[in-house]
Amino acid sequence: MKPILVLVSVDSNSVLLGAKQFANYLREALEKYNLKDSVDVLETGSMGVYTQGVVMAVFPDDVYYSVRSVADVEKIVSEHLLKGRPVLSLEIPRERLKLVVEKEKVTEEVRIVLRNVGVIDPRSIDQYIARDGYFALHKALFEMKPEQVIQTIKESGLRGRGGAGFPTGLKWEFTAKAQADQKYVVCNADEGEPGTFKDRLIMEGDPHSVIEAMIICGYAVGATKGYIYIRGEYYGSVENIQKAIKDAYEYGFLGKNILGSGFSFDLTVRLGAGAYVCGEETALLESIEGKSGRPRLKPPYPPTNGLFGKPTVINNVETFANVPQIILNGANWFKQFGTKGSPGTKVFSLVGNVVRRGIVEVPMGVTVRELIYKFGGGLVGGKQLYMVQTGGTAGTFIGLDKIDVPLHYESFRDHGVSIGSGVILAMDEDVCPVDVALNTMEFFEHESCGKCTPCREGTRLAVEILRRMSKGQGKKEDIDTLKQIAIITQEASLCGLGQSINVPLISILDNFRDEFLAHIGATGCPRGVCKFEKPAKVKAKV
Amino acid sequence: MVDREAVAEMVRNIKKQALEERDMLINALHQIQNRFGNYIPVEAAKVVAEELNVAESKVYEVLTFYTMFSTKPRGKYVIRVCVNLPCHVTGGRQIVETLKETLGVDFDQTTKDGLFTLERTSCLGLCGVAPVIMVNDEYYGDLTPKKVKEIIESLRARGDAK
């Protein structure tokens, strides 16, 4: 151990801000100033904030910097590391750090899922083990029966973090009870809900937590094989997960007779290839089986008829990442966080026009206002908040009147504000709801797999109408027609993709109705976003 | 010409990593696409079908279902621009316009010099630095129209066309 440690975030978002280059330059500079023997450099995952700079932290001084150029790195080395004088101009102000520094518990941030992200070198299994890694696996294998593992997860109240919120323990129990010669554990890492990048940062920053959880799950339900299905575009996640799997095999946490327990488990990675619908669990299973990712008719559900027709547990990355800590600390420990119906924390992605875009893990029950103003630092340029989409593209559009609703799995039912995958997309007064609705429906039209008619045609029709409205050719009946399309598509579609388009569409039509009306029979978009065109001579009937 | 034997050899190697029969098709297609640059010749897809014992039509269906695969040669640089809301509201609209103008092509078209293919993509999970584009396997974030033009210029300077 060297006396000084510098942490550098090199997650995929930070890399785009120059993180790799800065880390390399840091090493060169340490060489130049002859500090090599006293300073360690550790490349770690995301520290949560993107202040248009790469976060570098110096320990034990506990100083966090936002670095934007190699000159900044030079300054930190020559001033702080060499002469012991922190560079005030680059320091991230203290109040921003509440988000980053674990020990300052003044805000409500609680790190269960992200406890190692931005703290350890994700490519080092030793560092994971040093932070109690694989202790939960040991505990499960040697101190607990499979039923006890399932019981603990059930009691913890953990629910699926991918968006649907299904109780995890129940899923495991159904799979455990199903009789079959082969069962599977699948991790849904096909993160595609626009605005969501938590799974990516978990896999890049702490891949072993997911692997450990999957092995525990395999033991609990009697599965001996597992797949992590990762988006084809997530190169960094694939790399870190593959390295972690390799190391876990070498250490005997994977493979035959794990730690001498008699339990065996194999784990491998499969890639997606650019299809949002594969995030739907049965489409994902189809894809692993080497087919196009079209959802299956449900029931039967994966716990009885999953991968290759066999009983399968399929959970999201964030859901799995909770598991080792629950097994280690118990269900009651987990239940102290969050709300009664939704225990634990949620990793939120703060995106759009907020000052500090990034991820933050807080207990369930946090409000949109807290997320945007307390953690996100308000809006860029001091602009007014106008609209927020919560939960992802399949989530709700809300106005200012709903930003004090506490977010948990019941907040959609109770208040019309969905938590989904945890996206908080803040939009300032420069956006136009018609344009936003059009963009959203274009997404669904593009990603609809085409298997069932209501979704394929419903999304297409909605786009046609909204496109017309955005050109200033809206008709009186358009709003009602859109609502009708939303309801029919929701009721008649085969899978979650089509079934969820009513959530964004109806919420934006209801909460921003005046803006839509202002596009009908008007001479220009009230917000100056949509470009009105003169209607064509013969108008197509919709 | 597709070197059938080389492709077959590749597929056989990939097959060794299978946990179950049939679970390697998409991984295999990824690797073959990398080998041929950025597309999969139908000829190579046929070899995959034979080696994995899957109907050719099934392989073709998979190839055309997933947006990351292409059966036609694409430009040397495939530019994927995120068109989803988190990028859209942080200046993504202008990024798309700038790309189309600067390259002189629409989505799914290739520039005449064979250098660039423009594609739209859904969220790439880099919303912390939106708006973003991907060029082959490299990402670029916090984009402005000016930055986009610079990126294209530097790629043009780098890039011997066909």
Q: Residue A105's pLDDT is what? A: 36
* Contact (CB<8Å) B86/A272: no
Domain match, B128 and B93 both: yes
Average pLDDT, integer, range A341-355:
95
Range of the domain at A21: 4-97
3-state secondary structure at position A271: strand
Query: Which pair of structure tokens corresponds to residue A393?
Result: 């593209």
- Co-location of B147 and B127 in the same domain: yes
Q: Would B71 be classed as within a structural domain?
A: no
CA A165, A169, A170, A173 dihedral sign is positive
Q: Does A468 share its domain with A378?
A: no
CATH classification at residue A202: 3.40.50.11540
In a domain, B131, yes or no: yes
Q: What is the residue whose two structure tokens read 């696409």? A: B33
Strands of the A266-271 sheet, one edge to the other: A266-271, A225-230, A184-189, A312-316
Indicate whether B85 and B45 sit together in one domain. Answer: no
Task: Determine the 3-state secondary structure of A383 from DSSP.
Answer: coil
Looking at residue A183, what is its pLDDT?
98
The reply to whether A103 falls in a domain is no
- A101 by Cβ neighbours in 10 Å (0-12 / 13-18 / 19+) ranks as middle
Q: Does B132 touch chain A (CB under 8 A)?
A: yes
Nearest to A194 among B52, B84, B90 (CB): B84
What was the pLDDT predicted at A389? 97
Site from A271, A396, A397, A428 to mutate, B interface, most B CB atoms within 10 angstroms? A271
- Using only C-alpha atoms, chain A has a radius of gyration, in whole angstroms, of 24
Q: Work out the burial of residue A58: count CB atoms within 10 Å of its CB; fewer than 13 is exposed, 13-18 middle, 19 or more buried.
A: buried
Please give the full DSSP string across A387-409, using - where no structure is assigned.
EEEESSTTSEEE-GGGTTSBPST
| Beta-carbon contacts below 8 Å between A and B | 159
Answer yes or no: is A185 within a domain: yes
Same domain membership, residue B137 and residue B92? yes
User: Which tokens in the block code for residue A305?
Assistant: 């008829």
Q: Does A235 touch chain B (CB under 8 A)?
A: yes
Q: pTM for the whole thing?
A: 0.91
Calculate mean pLDDT across residues A329-351. 96
Torsions phi, psi for A49 (to 5 deg): -110, 145
Whether residue B58 is found in the same domain as residue B92 = no
Give me the pLDDT at residue A220, please. 98
User: Do A418 and A453 belong together in one domain?
Assistant: no
In B, which residues are within 8 Å of A191 by CB distance?
Answer: 125
Encoded tokens for A169: 């323990």
Does any domain span residue A540?
Answer: no
Assigned domain for A538 exists: no
Hey, what's the torsion of the CAs at A210, A212, A216, A219, to 10 degrees?
Answer: 110
Number of domains within chain B: 2
Per-residue pLDDT band at A101 (split at 50, 70, 90): very low
| Helices A207-221 & A168-177 angle (0-180, nearest 10) | 40
Residues 6+ apart with CB under 8 A from A192: A231, A276, A278, A279, B122, B123, B125
Q: What is the dihedral of CA A132, A230, A335, A417, to 10 degrees?
A: 150
Query: Per the domain annotation, does A482 fall within a domain?
Result: yes
Q: What is the per-residue pLDDT for A102?
A: 38
Measured between alpha carbons, how far apart are the two ends of chain A, in Å? 70
C-alpha span between A508 and A526 (Å, rounded)? 16
pLDDT classification of B1: cutoffs 50, 70, 90 = confident
Residue-averaged pLDDT of chain A: 93
ipTM for the assembly:
0.94
Do residues A18 and A83 both lie within one domain?
A: yes
Contacts of A359 in chain B (CB under 8 A): 128
Question: Which residue, among A406, A358, A423, A403, has the nearest Cα to A97 in the 3D structure?
Answer: A358
Residues A323 and A194 in one domain: yes
- Look at residue A540 in the predicted model and tell me its pLDDT: 54
At residue A536, does pLDDT exceed 70? no
pLDDT beyond 50 at B78: yes
Residue A532 in any domain: the answer is no
Residue A58 domain flag:
yes
Which of A335, A362, A397 finishes a domain?
A335
Number of domains making up chain A: 4
Using the Cβ of A459 and the Cβ atoms of chain B, whether some distance falls under 8 Å is answered with no
Give the residue from B122, B142, B147 with the most A CB atoms within 10 Å of its CB, the best one to mutate.
B122
Is residue A324 domain-shared with residue A448, that is, in the same domain? Answer: no
